[in-house]
A and B are shown apart, each in its own frame.
Chain A
Amino acid sequence: MNIETLLSELFPLGHSVTNIDSILTGYGTTNKGEIAVLGTTDHLAVGVEAALALATSALGVIKNDPGRPILLLVDTQGQRLSLQDELLGINGYLAHLAKCLELARQREHQLICLVYAEAVSGGFLSFGMMADEIHSLPEAKVRVMNLPAMARITKLPLEQLEELSRTSPCFAPGVENFIKLGGINTIWQQPLAERLVEVIGMKLDEDQRRHNGFVRQGRKLAFTVAQRVKAG
């Protein structure tokens, strides 16, 4: 779904979201009031400038609009792969973005994420994955890496990975697999405006993902291991 269609379906009552260099910023109107919108589009490869721009917007909402819910719209092919980004310390820029979103959570902003196109590794990790809850459109594409690249780096035969991806949600890209693992809460079906309004105001304090992964049997150990360590 393209971004204009998405915004009009999420906000039939109107929105002021702008798209500058594939960074989305603004507000949308819902039946439950205004919601701040931050996001990326055009499968943006997130580099240092984009991470900083998103952090600027997040800090702006924290300062100017205390407690306002925030919708994170995800469409990223991952972090930008370049020597210059590494030279400037892109991991620190992405960590800064994650910290700004954590501060928003601490200050009672509800963080809702919608993956509407692509969600890949670093760009997803420091942004959408910081949300209290993560939802996805059915056609979204979520992955760490494609199978051929995975085969090259792990030195495992592609055929073996393809075979295993049919039985294990751990390898293969796909929304359904991330749902089984607890990494995505639900798939949003039309009408999107109703889906959004349903979750606004349902603030969750704890990270629910490993519990969901346990209940859905896709990630059976993370929950029990973390609980055992935590309990001492």
Chain B
Amino acid sequence: MSDLSGISRGHSYYEANARQRIAHLLDPGSFQEVLGPAERLTSPHLEPLGQPCSFDDGIIIGTGSLNGLQVLVASQEGGFMGGAVGEVHGAKLTGLLERAVNERPAAVLLLLESGGVRLHEANAGLIAISEVIRALLATRVAGVPVLGLIGGAYGCFGGMGIVARCCDALIINEEGRLGLSGPDVIETTMGVEEFDSSDRALVWRTLGGKHRYLLGEVQCLVEDDIDAFHTAVIKTINTVQPLSLESLEQEHSSLTRRLADYGQCQDGADIWGEMGIDDPQKLPLMDIQSFMVTVADKGQGKL
């Protein structure tokens, strides 16, 4: 894999907000927002709690083109309640995925940045994420690829971590984190001896982009540059697998093997050592280019 394009670092994906990511990822001027802020469509559940609202409820959705290909896109705004999913936020995403079944774009791009269910409207948020999962998988069954992009400050956790792994393919930068229960949730519930959420290196070795790539959970690991994400989307869009018994049996074998091979490992570095990588402790310090050379033909391969 040569995910080395876009090293100019023109636009950091990590630092950009949800709108900037869309603007730089898609063909200039092609984005048409659906239910934008002018509609004043806000969550009805935040005001009674004295919480601020957002006119897009923390997610921007619409249509556009990428390298001339028609796409539908959704981008979660980490800056608003950590990208958490409430009733309106989730319904926008579900509606977009269902629209894809009718419109048959080249792909649906999900720019994921979310802590999962928005606790301020917890029950509605949980059901909303379940609706997103069903709509996403139905979109894949209809033959429209769904690609997930991860690389913002809030990572992709909770129910949205499950949504991410329902996508056809994932693209992540080194700064991106993907998981289910966030380190702080595990520490709060199980104690600091289970997971010290203040140990940033440990958090990174457990949930970070390089580890997810080595496990075969994400298909592309890219520089923190929106152009690099753009290149990876084009490369990935035609490689996706339909959701079938064969593809799920393959995934089943792969996950079974992962559990057998690494189920006893206590640390990311232990897993990387088991994969046959020399000096696994050095991986965190490598730039993406050296990392790719070092891990070539290692890891579980791409699902």
Chain A interface residues (CB < 8 Å from chain B) = 48-49, 52, 55-56, 59, 62-63, 79, 81-96, 98-100, 102-103, 106-107, 121-122, 124-126, 129-130, 143-145, 149-150, 152-154, 156, 160, 164, 168-172, 177-178, 181-183, 207, 209-210, 213, 219-223, 225-232
Q: Is the CB of A79 within 8 A of B95?
A: no
User: Which residues from B are CB-within-8-Å of A150?
Assistant: 119, 122
* A59-B252, A171-B121, A229-B96 given; A164·B127 CB < 8 A: no
B145-178: contact bitstring with A at CB < 8 Å (1 yes, 0 no)? 0000000000000110111111000000000001
* A58 CB to nearest B CB, Å: 9
B15 CB–A CB distance under 8 Å? no
Q: Determine if A181 and B256 form an interchain contact, defined as CB atoms under 8 angstroms apart.
A: no
Is A207 touching B122 in the complex (CB atoms < 8 A)? no
- Measured CB to CB, the closest approach of chain B to A218, in angstroms, equals 8
For the complex of A and B, the 8 pairs showing the least CB-CB separation, nearest first, are: A229-B95, A95-B165, A91-B161, A226-B95, A144-B122, A225-B91, A91-B180, A129-B130
Residues of B within 8 A of A122 (CB): 158-159, 162, 180-181
Q: Is the CB of B164 within 8 A of A121?
A: no
* In-complex Cβ contact of A160 among B49, B138, B141 (8 A): B49
**How long is the Cα–Cα vector from A149 to B211 in the complex, in angstroms?**
30
User: Per a CB cutoff under 8 Å, which of A55, A87, A168 touches B265?
Assistant: A87
- B45 → chain A, closest Cβ, in Å? 5
Chain A min CB distance to B156 (Å): 9
How far does the alpha carbon of A63 sit from the alpha carbon of B125 in the complex, in Å? Answer: 34
CB within 8 A of A103: which of B243, B263, B266?
Answer: B243
Q: Does B248 lie within 8 Å of A99, measured CB to CB?
A: yes
B268 at the A interface (CB under 8 A): yes
Q: Tell me which of A90, A100, A172, A227 contacts B180 (CB under 8 A).
A: A90
Q: B90 interface residue, CB < 8 Å from A? A: yes
Number of A-B residue pairs, CB cutoff 8 Å, is 257
16 A–B pairs (Cβ distance < 8 Å), ordered by A: A52-B252, A59-B245, A84-B263, A85-B181, A91-B179, A92-B165, A94-B180, A99-B248, A125-B129, A130-B134, A143-B122, A144-B123, A181-B124, A210-B131, A221-B88, A232-B102
Question: Which residues in B have their C-beta under 8 angstroms from that of A227?
Answer: 95
Bin the interface of chain B by size. 35 or more
State whether A83 touches B195 (Cβ < 8 A): yes
Does B48 sit within 8 A of A, measured CB to CB? yes
Given the complex, which residues of A lie within 8 Å of B125, measured CB to CB?
144
| A219–B45 CA distance with the chains assembled, in angstroms | 10
Annotate B246-279 by CB proximity to A: 1 below 8 A, 0 otherwise.
Answer: 0011011001101100110111100100000000
Contacts A81-B186, A126-B162: A229 and B122 contacting too (C-beta < 8 A)? Answer: no
State whether the Cβ of B296 lies closer than 8 Å to any Cβ in chain A.
no
Q: A184 → chain B, closest Cβ, in Å?
A: 9
Q: Are B99 and A219 in contact (CB under 8 A)?
A: no
User: Would you call B123 and A221 a contact (CB within 8 A)?
Assistant: no
Which chain B residues (5-63) contact chain A, with CB distance < 8 Å? 34-35, 41, 44-45, 48-49, 61
A121–B159 CB distance below 8 A: yes
A170 to B178, alpha carbons, bound, how many Å?
A: 27
A227 to chain B, nearest CB (A): 7
Q: How far apart sit A209 and B131, CA to CA, in the bound complex (Å)? A: 8
The answer to whether A229 touches B35, judged by C-beta atoms less than 8 angstroms apart, is yes
Assess whether B217 is interfacial by the CB under 8 Å rule. Answer: yes
B206 at the interface (CB under 8 A from A): yes
